[in-house]
Structure 1
Amino acid sequence: MTLLTKTAFRSAPGGLRCFDLLRNIFAAVLVLGVISGPAAADYKLEPGDQIRVSLTGLEGLSFDAIIDAHGNVNLKWLGHFEAKGLLADELENLVRLDAAGKIVKQYNQNGEIYIIQLDGDEIEVARNGYRPIIIGGDVARTGQIDFRPAITAREAVALAGGVRSMLLADDVTVDPIQLMRWQTTYGQAALQHAQAMVQVWRTTSELRQNLDMAPPTLEQVSVSNTVLEELIAEQLRIRTVNQENEAGEREYFEDAEDQAQQRIEILQEQKTELAKALVSDEEEEARVVSMIERGLTAGSRLADTRRTTVLSATRLLEVEEDLAATNLVLTRLKRDGEFYEQERSLRLLQQRRDAHLALRDASLQMDTIAKYLAGASSEIGTESLISDIDYSVTVFRVVDGQLQELRVDKLTQLLPGDSVEISVVQVTQQTQLTE
């Protein structure tokens, strides 16, 4: 983008160099922002979506635009563009290519005119609003609901005030404050449900020693993808610490058992050699006794021979005692290793059991709050609750220009522009909920 005042317009070369430098700086900042910014999943643009067009450094030229029924968008002085079916980044590229070289007039506070020559890179196009969800049928408030990523059919029903039908009471309304409380409670229960499910996954993978076991998916929980990824990452860190500690313990037992086994082998060799020496000493002692009896040698020699025999027997006894003690140490090490594995399994089984209990409690709480949201009505001093209500969800969605009718479950994530039809299929009883 080149900006020229009247004076700068007359002395274009120097002014151009200066503003080329500014343009390069703006371009570098823009590129860095694109590279370092978070990459968020987007939906293709369709009629009814709103976008915002802005120019780097020229906030006064920013404006919003809505894609019309034909899929086109009027970007004022930038022209008309066909936006249907494009991502916001793709539309931005088209606008930048078309805008390169265009001249725009701009006035400052002093009334001086600026001539702006666009190069396209300074233009940013971003989604500024999604097509709303249209909800109808057996809900308290039919009409539009603002779309947000990852919104489910159950949440849409809650935002529409819960279930309302001729099958229910005549006047089914929702206290907004109580509705907010229930929505908050439901969100907390959904988080606890996801935490428990991820803990079950982690403990099961450790018990089975299967590090490739797949973690829970978005279809199994009622939290956003970001929250689920954080929960999984936390459990992965716990599993990594456990694995490192367990590897250290197992290495200790293996090393200790190896050392004990090596000492046993050495003592076995010593025992064999000492046993042979003792036999030899006893044979020598018997030979000396025979020679003394025949008068072939002095009697004093027998004392020396017996001393040698006793020494060999004593050393053999010591080695046998040492060997027995080392065998006992090895037995205890193996027993301690087995006991450690048993304790590890019991600890993980207890953790998984606790996680299963938390999962069950959170599921029950979510189901209960969902019924409150589906069938609550405001009365004096009480909130009456229509319990055991069930309803079906039908989504009408345009795909490739064709309207499709889809039967989905309550945890299905909706898309921008979906039309949702709610139908009550069962009402069995009415109870009272008092604070």
Structure 2
Amino acid sequence: MLRAFRLIAIIALLVLSGCASQPKVDERFVEALNAPYRLDAGDRLRVVVFEQPDLTNTYIVDAAGNLSMPLIGDVRARYLTTPELEQAITAQLRNGFLRNPSVSVQVDTYRPFFILGEVNQPGQYPYVAGLTAQTAVAVGGGFTARATRDMVRISRQYNGTIVEARIPIDHPIRPGDTIYVLERWF
């Protein structure tokens, strides 16, 4: 009888320890966090074309992922870094418009992040550099009474695909991330 009780206790502990372990985080998720920032719809960019005040302006990457500029029209910006976009704009300006253009691109305002689930005010919010999942929850009005408070699920776009991971609450987030605060069981 004592032996059966010990066996049941060991099995119960193994099952509970399996529930408590962290799920394995997809490597693409971590790579996306450490990769250079890639532009997408909703990013507001400051484009400076030196000695060309009519071309220097603030532009928004549209839903199709393009930047629309005078003279050259639409320039594909989606998934490019700012140096790559500088090269693309320079190449199009050099193609019959300017002899030796010098272009600088900076992110003026990052695209928003989204927070859903067990927060008091789910929705879309502006991204601020240095944001963590915990500060994002605070921006979303804080946890509800049923929220899991130590971990969230984040969806992030990486190389054109969506990757998801459960991460600790102090983990940094990126522009365009969707944060989902989970409901606790007890």
Paired amino acid for 1:409? P
CA RMSD of aligned residues (A): 2.5
Unaligned runs of 5+ in 1: 1-40, 104-116, 169-388, 428-435
Residues 85/390 of structure 1: CA separation in 2 closer, same or farther (3 Å cut): closer
Match of 1:404 in 2: 163
1:415 Cα deviation (Å)?
1.4
Instruction: Give 4+ residue runs of structure 1 displaced > 6 Å after superposition.
Output: none
Q: Secondary structure at the match of 1:77?
A: coil
Q: Which has the higher strand share?
A: 2
Going from structure 1 to structure 2, the CA distance change for 1:390 and 1:127 (only over 3 Å counts) comes to closer
How big is the shift at 1:56?
Answer: 2.5
Shift of 1:406: 1.0
Give the drift of 1:92: 0.6
- 8 Å CA contact 1:390–1:426 kept in 2: the answer is no
Residue 88 of structure 1 deviates from its aligned partner by 0.6
1:150 aligns with 130
Aligned counterpart in structure 1 of residue 91 of structure 2, from 97, 101, 113: 97
Structure 2 spans left out of the alignment, 5+ residues: 1-34
Q: CA deviation at 1:426?
A: 6.7
Superposed CA offset, 1:239-288 (max 9, x none) = xxxxxxxxxxxxxxxxxxxxxxxxxxxxxxxxxxxxxxxxxxxxxxxxxx
> Corresponding residue for 2:64?
70
**Offset, 1:163:** 0.8
CA distance in 1, matches of 2:78, 2:95: 25
In 1: Cα distance, 2:91 partner to 2:41 partner: 23
Trace 1:268-307 onto structure 2 (pairs within 5 A): none
Contact 2:50/2:101 (<8 A) preserved: no
Percent identical across equivalent pairs? 28
Q: Following TM superposition, by how much is the alpha carbon of 1:420 offset from its aligned partner in structure 2, in angstroms?
A: 0.5
- Give yes or no for the alignment of 1:136 onto 2:116: yes
Which one has a larger percent helix, Structure 1 or Structure 2?
Answer: 1
Does structure 2 conserve the Cα–Cα contact (< 8 Å) formed by 1:391 and 1:423?
A: no
Q: 1:393 to 1:130 in 2, by over 3 A?
A: same
Deviation at 1:95, TM superposition (A): 1.0
Q: Are 2:40 and 2:78, in contact at CA under 8 Å, matched by a contact in 1? A: yes
Q: CA deviation at 1:87?
A: 0.8
**TM-score, normalized by length of structure 1?**
0.32
Distance 1:47 1:55 in 2: 22
The structure with more radius of gyration? 1
**Residue of structure 2 equivalent to 1:56:** 50
Residue 101 of structure 2: aligned partner: 120
- Per the alignment, do residues 159 and 99 of structure 1 end up closer, same or farther by CA in structure 2, a change over 3 Å counting? same
Amino acid at match of 1:119: N
Select the residue among 384, 389, 393 that pairs with 2:152. 393
Specify the alignment match of 1:85 in structure 2.
79
Q: Is the alpha carbon distance of 1:101 and 1:119 closer, same or farther for their aligned partners in structure 2, counting shifts above 3 Å? A: farther
Q: CA deviation at 1:145?
A: 2.0
Q: How does 1:34-433 map to 2 (within 5 A)?
A: 42-100=36-94, 102-103=96-97, 117-121=98-102, 123-165=103-145, 167=146, 390-425=149-184
8 Å CA contact 1:392–1:409 kept in 2: the answer is yes
Q: Secondary structure at the match of 2:62?
A: coil
Q: Distance in 1 between matches of 2:163 and 2:95?
A: 44
1:118-171 Cα distance to aligned partner (Å, 9 max, x none): 5212x3222222121100111111111221233110111111121125x48xxx
The 1-side partners of 2:68 and 2:120 are apart by: 37
Matched position secondary structure for 1:125: strand
- Following superposition, the deviation at residue 416 of structure 1 comes to 1.3
1:294 equivalent in structure 2: none
Number of residues of Structure 1 aligned to a counterpart in Structure 2: 152
Q: Which amino acid aligns with 1:78?
A: I
